[in-house]
Amino acid sequence: MSNITELTSHQQVQTPAPVSFWQAFLFWLKLGFISFGGPAGQIAIMHQELVERRRWISEKRFLHALNYCMVLPGPEAQQLATYIGWLMHRTWGGIVAGVLFVLPSLFILIALSWVYLAYGDVSWVAGLFYGIKPAVTAIVVHATHRIGSRALKNNMMWVIAAAAFVAIFALSVPFPYIVIAAALTGYLGGRYLPDYFNSNGGHGDSGKSFGTALLDDNTPTPKHAIFRWSRFSMILIAGIVLWVMPMLALWAVWGWEHTFTQMAWFFTKAALVTFGGAYAVLPYVYQGAVGQYGWLTPTQMIDGLALGETTPGPLIMVVAFVGFVGGYANAVFGPDMIFVAGAVAATIVTWFTFLPAFIFIFAGAPFIETTHNDLNFTAPLTAITAAVVGVILNLALFFGYHILWPEGFDGQFEWISAVIAVAAGIALFRYNMNVMKVISACALVGLALTLSGLA
């Protein structure tokens, strides 16, 4: 019995076999099709697969990479996949991991966006969205709770979250300023009140061990991951070229004021202020895409978020829906090629939204590999994560208002939508139901109510 116990213990700590590039390729492809549930769900899937089950990377290094991705603007789950892919298989490993995290979602959203615009006035489609939209409100509230339960570990974090909420809700402070203020607070807090800010970015205990990993806590940094100024400069130059060339091409072919060019410019800016993930940047996208450019209506924006919730990939992929609707509505290639115009616009928007995410990882990750356990680095993240909780709560109220009072507070209260939202909230909070199951159930309820004439 003793020998069996020793053998089992040895098997548990034995380092996994090396992973080839193509083995990793197949995993990242699979992840692109199963990464539902928003950032929290996607990070949980990667943790379960890469840390617990496959042991490609240790808990501590996984969280350290996640900390960096949380600080960056852009979709943190997609950037985390890019980071780990790069750490394991150099630049091409990162490109494959990051692209496959997005590509299935892009194709699916182009198809769904076309169905939505072509058949959106059909009663059964309208019925599905009648049930989905209240569910989205409940999902955003649930996301606030999930992130808050990890991030708000002490009174200081609660104060930062409350201040962020008041700043964006009551004072209309732009989100980037909130992030800067939170980062400064975290930096000073890490120096003078370290006990309040030493929480691993609010993502749980990093002391857990699931056995020896390929990239373990003490595994030497791979040669390609060692910071060099020459490589850093090369990445920045390559990133600038990859941004400038398509931007100049759009400008040369269609001019600066054209829909495609303006989309490229607007979503470049959006990519640089998406601190805290998609939920936090959606108000900015709403303000520009709906209010400034008129590419889509407020109702279409909420419908787009619902579509984003029902597809795999990062939630910020809702920008592909925005692009498709804008290109489709403007019929850039003429009335006979409106689908092509929408698909091209969605592709342009996706390129300019995600390009910065890759540059941030490839340029910055080598430096981050030298900052393990550095409180000066992690404390600003802790404060930013707390501030994001307040921002997401504001977004939940924003969606709730437009769904429950679609004509304003002077209009009729949508009590059926309220009931659906409450039911979805109970399913999420009380029974921990999968997001896809909640959305599917609410969609069927909305369809039944619409076809029966009750909604």
Indicate if the pLDDT at residue 395 is higher than 70.
yes
315: DSSP letter: G
pTM (predicted TM-score): 0.72
Q: Is the model more confident about 275 or about 72?
A: 72
Tell me the percentage of the chain whose pLDDT exceeds 90. Answer: 33
Is a pLDDT exceeding 80 seen at residue 217? no
pLDDT score of 274: 66
Domain range spanning residue 302?
35-153+241-370+399-451
**Distances from the Cα of 421 to the Cαs of 154, 322, 358, in angstroms?**
30, 24, 36
Residue 443 lies in a domain: yes
Name the more confident of 149 and 100.
Answer: 100
Q: How far apart are CA 354 and CA 358, in angstroms?
A: 7
The answer as to whether 183 is a domain residue is: no
**What average pLDDT does range 2-31 have in this prediction?**
70
Asked whether residue 8 is assigned to any structural domain, the reply reads no
Query: Strand, coil or helix: what is 215?
Result: strand
The overall average pLDDT reported for the chain is 83
**pLDDT band at 4, cuts 50/70/90?**
very low
Residue 151 CA from chain centroid, whole number: 17
Q: Has residue 17 got a pLDDT over 50?
A: yes
Of 151-160, 331-340, 393-402, least confident by mean pLDDT is 393-402
Whole-number pLDDT of residue 312? 78
Rounded to 10 degrees, the C-alpha dihedral 433/435/436/440 comes to 80
Burial call 156-193: b when 16+ CB within 10 Å, e when fewer: bbbebbbbbbebbbeeeeebeebbebbbebbbebbeee
414 in a domain, yes or no?
Answer: yes
pLDDT at 272 over 60: yes
- Residue pLDDT, tens place only, 297-356: 888 887 887 777 667 778 788 899 999 999 998 888 888 899 999 999 999 999 999 999
pLDDT given for residue 202 in this prediction: 40
Q: Tell me whether residue 131 is in a domain.
A: yes
- pLDDT number for residue 455: 67
- The per-residue pLDDT for range 178-190, each reduced to its tens digit, is 878 998 999 899 8
Residue 415 lies in a domain: yes
Q: Say how many domains are in the chain.
A: 1
DSSP 8-state class, residue 292: I
Residue pair 155/350 in contact (Cβ under 8 Å)? The answer is: no
CA torsion, points 344, 349, 351, 352, in degrees to nearest 10?
140
Which of 28-32, 265-269, 418-422, 451-455 has the least mean pLDDT? Answer: 451-455
More confident residue, 414 or 370: 414
The single-letter DSSP state of residue 57 is B
Tokens found for residue 305: 């978020």
Integer Cα distance of 434 and 425 in angstroms: 12
pLDDT of 246 above 90: yes
- Tell me how crowded residue 207 is: count the other CB atoms within 10 A of its CB: 8
Question: What angle do helix axes 76-119 and 298-309 make, rounded to 10 degrees?
Answer: 120
Whether 38 has a pLDDT exceeding 80, the answer reads: no
Q: Is residue 27 part of a domain?
A: no
